Structure 1
Amino acid sequence: MKKLLFNPFEKYDARPLLFIGLLAIALGSLLAYLFGAHYNGALDMHISNQGTTFVLAFTENVFAIALLFAGLFIYSYSINKKTRPIDILSTVLIARIPLYITTLAGVGGYMAKIDAVVGEDPGTIEKMLPEILPVLLISLLLIPLVIWFFALLYNGVKTASNLKTTKQIVMFIVTILLIEIVSFFIFPLIYQ
């Protein structure tokens, strides 16, 4: 079971994983729409007090997937010329499933309410302590999902490109950071 959760790439072919990942895009976009989440970065998910539309959630999701795929494929191909695009794409699609689960943090509106109030007047946090406690609990529950996301991403790239050395692992981390930095410049274009 542990292998299935953290490294399905060794057990399953890329095609069924790709199919599951494509279904997950639709479900993740629907969850973002229902709970007011934005995938506004290659690795980001934020709950908004303004909500979102399904089209915007889907567009943000596709942009995030495209950025991660492009960056990780270029990196993986530089390590191993036999790296297949379908393997990296299925890795990115499957790895994003935990991020889709994080949209459930929007249930009850606590996250959006805190975000709205803190943006207006940071001094009101003391008054909102009863609302902040659920947010802290939700945040603690989100940490394992974020770890799961990165574990899936790493294990997928490792399997697809035969990642082995410490230098390659460090460059994998640098690549992820660079993808996130690039997303800060590209994602604002979606909202224009």
Structure 2
Amino acid sequence: MNWKTIFNPFLKFDEKTLLIAGFVSITSVFLFGYYFGLQTDSLFHFRLINSEDSLSKIILSTLIVYAISILIFFVFGKIINKKTRFIDVVNPILISQFIVILLLLISEIPLVKNAQKQIIASVENQSFELDMISLLITTINSFVSLAITAYGMAILFNGFRTATNMKDWRHIVIFVLLLLTIMLTMQLL
């Protein structure tokens, strides 16, 4: 396995294998998220589960996030290239969510969790005394989370680019704007 395969597995593996891996991915993200009390509310983002939310509501809203993302990117893919297939847009979206499992697991490390709780407690108490170790741990966690999210977005971008044969810089700019708009809009819904 080389760097090209790590950042664009869509060139090496067939679409059926990727689709199966994608379903395993979103199922794993749902199960890990639910176990930790979180729910997917956007690509690469979670929110806390409300105690009154039923399991069926959580599953439905998670599926809606993926369905809307797939639909929007499929339409955009068809605009770029009329030969774009549905499965070739579904796979990058689902595969890119594997990375989210790392985000969930890192956020549950006791050292990270305690550091975040300590900083939140300082802010709630309106105290200007922050523990430097907690601040350092939270900062490192933020940079690691940002890098992991960027990797997931790179997988999504490379898969979409491969599926649509996207080369024009304007399409790339529209892709980035579309991804950011989808992510931010879904978090508000």
Q: TM-score, normalised by structure 2?
A: 0.82
CA distance in 2, matches of 1:172, 1:71: 10
User: Contact conserved, 2:119 with 2:135, CA < 8 A, in 1?
Assistant: no
Structure 1 pair 134–78 and aligned structure 2 pair: CA distance change class (3 A): same
How big is each residue's C-alpha offset from its partner over 1:98-143, in whole Å with a ceiling of 9 and x where there is no partner? 122101112223376257536734x236344443332222222222
Deviations 1:57-115 (A, max 9, x none): 64454233222211111111111111111111111000111122101112223376257
Q: Quick one: which of 178, 183, 188 aligns to 1:180?
A: 183
Q: Paired residue for 1:135, among 124, 135, 138?
A: 138
Q: Does the 8 Å contact 1:45/1:99 carry over to 2?
A: no
Structure 2: segments with no counterpart, 5+ residues: none
Whether the aligned pair in 1 keeps the contact of 2:119 and 2:130 (CA below 8 Å) is: no
Q: Which moved more, 1:11-20 or 1:123-132?
A: 123-132
After TM superposition, the score normalised by the length of structure 1 is 0.80
Higher deviation after alignment, 3-12 or 111-120: 111-120
Q: Which residue of 1 aligns with 2:39?
A: 38
- Aligned pair count reads 184
RMSD: 2.9
Long gaps (5+) in structure 1: 187-192
Identity %: 25
Alpha-carbon offset, residue 20 of structure 1? 0.6
> 121, 124, 139: which one pairs with 1:120?
124
Q: Secondary structure in 1 aligned to 2:109?
A: helix
